[in-house]
Structure 1
Amino acid sequence: MVWKKPTYRVVDGERIDGVWSHVWVQGHSRYYVDDLFVYADGVIRCGELFDLPGLQRRLEAGRVALSDPERPLPDRPEQTPRWSARYPEPLTHDGFLCEVRDEIEELNGRPTTSDLCREAIRCYQGAPTEANRLLVKDAYLAIPAHRRVFVLGDMDRQDIPLRQLVTDLGKPVGGDGPIATVEMHRQVLEYFNASDRGIQRSRDRLAQLHADDLAAPRAATINLREWLNPPIEPPAELDLFVPRNEFPAPLSYAGETYPTVLHGYWALAVHDRGDHDRIRDSATVFAAHEIGGGCVLRSDWSLARTAVMAALLRAKFTQRPELAEVLRSTADARISYTGYSESPFWTDRGRDEGRNWVGRLLELVRSELSATAIQHLPSDRS
């Protein structure tokens, strides 16, 4: 099945995350496609709420089906030889129930059957004993049969190495394949070890290419909240109100002086020069905002607005060193610029909306302020 997310439901004010997929549901005269939702607390919804045993009963009774019962299943490839088959096993009711359990485990941040199998493989690599091989076998067989071919993430061999390893010595792999031998198990162990070496080489290569992405943790995210009644004059003590667009800090841009970034933004957004001057001279940021929002805007404003905002922020902080120091004091923290007066394009409004462009531009200007300290190339120390 193909699971899609995000989805959630709210219970007593608590958000419970989930996933969903399509199933076929028995109607009065025929089956129809419906959404099956699975949530982290084990609740399942498909028209009504039930749990895993409830899903099992519905599958067994035919009230829920995993494919269209009114259409024949496509012909499957010839299944001989079975030991080297490269296609998933058929999806069964038991396999689907196990898959749903895995989805619930993943939603709760717990290991799935595939995760547990990979952990058992790592234990076997560390100590390739018969006891650890049997642990791999049990973990592999616990994976839903239709998902086993994907567990190793190997598009060429799929899960064939695991089929070889879980076969007891002297037995045919998959029932119709070559006889499992000590040498076969040794080759599988080398396959896993070689795969780990390849992964490590890739990680080392990326670490080299991404050497500028510092491993040290970033400072905690800073939330710049909107001021409902911003002062007209700058406060005596500067704090994290400074980066807000409504902060009273006159700035010069394109031959004009604006009381705040918001004054400049809306004055430059409008089409008519008279409207520009009224916005520029407004007594408060809210007056400037309301006048600007009620005027005819420049026809190209949607294309120009991000660059104009960047230029205004750059002017604000380069012309006022004391304000620049406040911005630089945020170090490398992510800046979340929240509020509802400015549009979602500019603000951070959680997971589902808001592009936080002011926050991003503040981080850019902060970086530029730091870059001004780099005036020369590194000296030759040879």
Structure 2
Amino acid sequence: MVWKRPTYRLVDGERVGGVWCHVWVKGHSGYYVDDLFVYADGLLSCGEAFDLHGLRQRLGSGKIALRDPERPVPERPAPTPRWSARYPEPLTNQGFLGEVADEIEALNGRPTTSDRCWEAIRRYQSDPAEDNRLRIREAYLAIPAHRRVFVLGDMDRQDIPLRQLVTDIGEPVGGDGPVATEQMHSEVLEYFNAGAQGAQRERERRDVLYADDPVQACAAAITLHERLNPPVEPPEHLDLGVLRNEFPAPFTYAGQTYPTIIHGYWASAVAARSDHDRIRDAATVREAHEAGGRCTLRPDWATARTAAMADLLRAKFTQHPERAEILLSTADARISYTGVSESPFWTDRGPHEGRNWVGRLLELVRAELLQPRE
């Protein structure tokens, strides 16, 4: 099943993360496609709310189906031999229930059946005793059958090494394959060890290539929300709101003084000097913005605007140390600059819209402010 993300629902003001996929739902005149939502707290929703047990009942009764029941499924010949099959087993109701349970575990940051299988593999690598091999078999068989071929992430061999290892010595692999031997189990252990060594080499290589990345996690992200009625004069008590472009912070740039970044940006954008002066002297942020939007802009503005915004922000924060201290107080947090008044180029509007360039430039200016202090 193809799962799509992210989604969420609110419970007492708290976000509960989720994922969703398409299923077939039985209606009055036949089956139709609908969305099945799965949330971290175990609640499922498809027209109505239920839990994993409710999904089992609906799958059993045919109220929810994994494919269109009104369309015949073409029969696929059984693989020959079965032990070396290189494609997933068919999706079943039981397998889908296991898949949903895994999604709930993943949403909560807990190990899935695949994760637990890998834990058993690593335990066997450190101690290849028989009881640890049996733990691998138990963990492997707990993975939904249609997902087992993907557990090792090996496009060439799929899960064949696991099929070999979980087969007892003297028994045919998969029921129709070669007889499992101690040599076969040893070769599978070598396969896992070689993979672990390769992964370790890759981690060491990345540590060298990405040595400039922070060792500790970054500070929590900060969101700067737009305020529809910003003050005309600087407020007495300063907070993160002063990082916004519409907040008053008179500064000088290129020989001109502007009340806000908005005034400076739009005055710099227009082609005519008379328009520049009119925007610079506008009484409010809104007047400056709308006046600039109605004027003829410089022909190169689309490509020059990012550098111009960076220069304006530098001027603002280097000329206002108290505002610079507030920007520096955000440490290394990602800055999300939201809003609808400024272009999506400048603002953060979620995963599908908005490039958040003001947020990025604030992070750049923050780093530049820190550089001389070191």
Scaled to the shorter chain, the TM-score interval is 0.7 to 0.9
Q: What SS is found at the alignment partner of 1:123?
A: helix
Q: Do the aligned partners of 1:38 and 1:100 also contact (CA within 8 Å) in 2?
A: yes
Aligned-partner Cα distance in 1 for 2:61–2:243: 62
Maintained 8 Å contact 1:234/1:248:
no
Contact 2:113 2:139 in 1 (8 A): yes
**CA, structure 1 residues 217+43, in 2 after alignment: closer, same or farther (shift >3 Å)?**
closer
**Deviation of 1:158 (Å):** 0.7
Secondary structure of 1:7's partner? Answer: strand
Separation (CA, whole Å) in 2 of partners of 1:48 and 1:118:
36
Tell me the number of residue pairs that the alignment of Structure 1 and Structure 2 aligns: 371
Once the two structures are superposed, residues 113-132 of structure 1 have per-residue CA deviations (whole angstroms, 9 ceiling, x without a partner) of 11111111111112111111
Equivalent position of 1:361 in the other structure: 361
Residue of structure 2 equivalent to 1:250: 251
* AA matched with 2:129: T
Q: 1:154 to 1:77 in 2, by over 3 A?
A: farther
Shift of 1:157: 0.7
Question: How far apart are the structure 2 equivalents of 1:221 and 1:22?
Answer: 32
Alpha-carbon distance change, 322 to 126 in structure 1, aligned in 2, over 3 angstroms? same
SS of equivalent residue, structure 1 residue 26 = strand
Aligned position for 2:35: 35
- Residue in structure 1 matched with residue 91 of structure 2 by the alignment: 91
In structure 2, what is the Cα distance between the partners aligned to 1:221 and 1:5? 20
Please give the residue correspondences for 1:65-214 in structure 2 after superposition, counting only pairs within 5 Å.
Answer: 65-76=65-76, 78-214=78-214
**Separation of aligned partners in 2, 1:135 and 1:86:** 24
**Residues 155-188 of structure 1: CA distance to partner in whole angstroms, max 9, x if unpaired?**
1111011101111111111111111111211111
- SS of the residue 2:169 aligns to: coil
Conserved? CA contact 2:21–2:35, under 8 Å: yes
Moved more, 274-283 or 338-347: 338-347
Is this contact kept in 1: 2:251–2:315, CA < 8 A? no
Q: How does 1:11-30 map to 2 (within 5 A)?
A: 11-30=11-30
Identity of aligned residues (%): 69
Distance 1:48 1:225, change over 3 A: closer
Q: How far 1:65 moved relative to its partner?
A: 1.8
Per-residue CA shift, 1:308-341, capped at 9, x if unaligned?
2122223334566776666556553333445665
Residues 42, 229 of structure 1: alpha-carbon distance in 2 compared, 3 angstrom cutoff? closer
SS in 1 for 2:84: coil
What are the ranges of 5 or more consecutive residues in structure 1 without an aligned counterpart? 375-382
Distance in 1, Cα, partners of 2:238 & 2:25 = 62
Deviation at 1:98, TM superposition (A): 1.2
Structure 2: distance between partners of 1:67 and 1:123: 39
Alignment deviations for residues 224-271 of structure 1 (CA, whole Å, 9 cap, x no partner): 566755463697x98756644324232122x53323322111223446
- Other-structure match for 1:377: none
Normalised TM-score (structure 2): 0.86
Secondary structure in structure 2 of the residue aligned to 1:193: helix
Contact 1:241 1:247 in 2 (8 A): no
1:34 and 1:101 map into 2 onto residues whose CA distance is 20
Give the 3 Å change call, closer, same or farther, for CA 257–335 of structure 1 in structure 2. same
SS of 2:82's partner is coil
Root-mean-square deviation (Å): 3.1
Tell me what 1:378 maps to. none
Name the structure 2 match of 1:380: none
TM score, norm. by length of structure 1? 0.84
> Cα 1:291–1:20, aligned 2, differ >3 Å: closer, same or farther?
same
Alpha carbons of structure 1 residues 67 and 225: separation in structure 2 relative to 1, 3 Å: closer
Please, which runs of 5 or more residues in structure 2 have no aligned partner? none
